[in-house]
Amino acid sequence: MNYIGSKNKLSDFIKQTVYEVVDKDLSNKTFCDLFAGTGIVGRHFKSETKKVISNDFEFYSYVLNRNYIGNHQNFDYEDLINELNSLEGKSGFICDEYSENGKSERLYFSEENGKKIDAVRQKIEEWKISGKITEDQYYFLLCSLLKAADKVANTASVYGAYLKQIKKSAQKKLEIVPSVFEFTENSHDVYNEDSNSLIQKIAGDILYLDPPYNARQYGANYHLLNTIAKYDNFSPKGKTGLRDYQKSKYCSKPEVLKTFEDLIKNAKFRHIFLSYNNEGLMADSDIKKILSKFGKYDIFTTEYQRFRADKEDNRNHKASKTTEFLYYLEKAE
| Integer angstrom CA distances of residue 67 from 48, 185, 206 | 18, 15, 22
CA atoms of 293 and 183, how far apart (whole Å): 40
Average pLDDT over residues 262-289: 96
Average pLDDT over residues 217-231: 97
Q: Which residue has the higher pLDDT, 49 or 310?
A: 49
pLDDT for the residue numbered 128: 98
Residue 24 has a pLDDT of 96
pLDDT of residue 322: 77
Write down the H helix ranges in the chain: 11-21, 40-45, 59-65, 78-86, 93-98, 111-130, 135-151, 195-198, 218-221, 223-230, 256-266, 284-292
Q: Which domains does the chain have, with CATH numbers?
A: 1-72+186-212+248-333 (3.40.50.150), 73-180+220-247 (no CATH)
Print burial letters for 86-121: b (CB count within 10 Å at least 16), e (below 16): eeebeebbbbbbbbbebeeebbbbbbbbbbbbbbbb
pLDDT at 316: 45
Q: Is the pLDDT of residue 190 over 90?
A: yes
Q: Tell me: the pLDDT tens digits for 63-104?
A: 999 999 999 999 999 999 999 999 999 999 999 999 999 999
The answer to whether residue 37 scores a pLDDT higher than 90 is yes
User: For residues 191 and 218, what is the distance between their CA atoms, to the nearest angstrom?
Assistant: 17
Per-residue confidence (pLDDT) for residue 75, from 0 to 100: 97
Maximum pairwise Cα distance, the chain: 60
Mean model confidence pLDDT for the chain: 94
Decide if pLDDT at 13 tops 70. Answer: yes
Is residue 317 scored above 80 in pLDDT? no
User: Residue 57 pLDDT > 50, yes or no?
Assistant: yes
Q: Which residues touch 317 (CB under 8 Å, ≥6 apart)?
A: 156, 157, 307, 308, 309
Q: Tell me the mean pLDDT in the region 193-222.
A: 96
**Which comes out higher in pLDDT, residue 216 or 155?**
155
Report the C-alpha gap between 35 and 260 in whole angstroms: 12
What pLDDT is attached to residue 320? Answer: 61
Residue-level pLDDT at 333: 81
Burial class of residue 61, CB neighbours in 10 A (0-12, 13-18, 19+): buried
Query: Given this model, what pLDDT does residue 315 score?
Result: 41
pLDDT score of 278: 84
- Cβ atoms of 271 and 30 closer than 8 Å: no
Q: Is residue 319 over pLDDT 70?
A: no
Contact by Cβ (8 Å): 67, 181:
yes
In the structure, what pLDDT confidence band is assigned to residue 219 with cuts at 50, 70 and 90?
Answer: very high
pLDDT tens per residue, range 124-171: 999 999 999 999 999 999 999 999 999 999 999 899 999 999 999 999
* Alpha-carbon span 80 to 227, nearest angstrom: 22
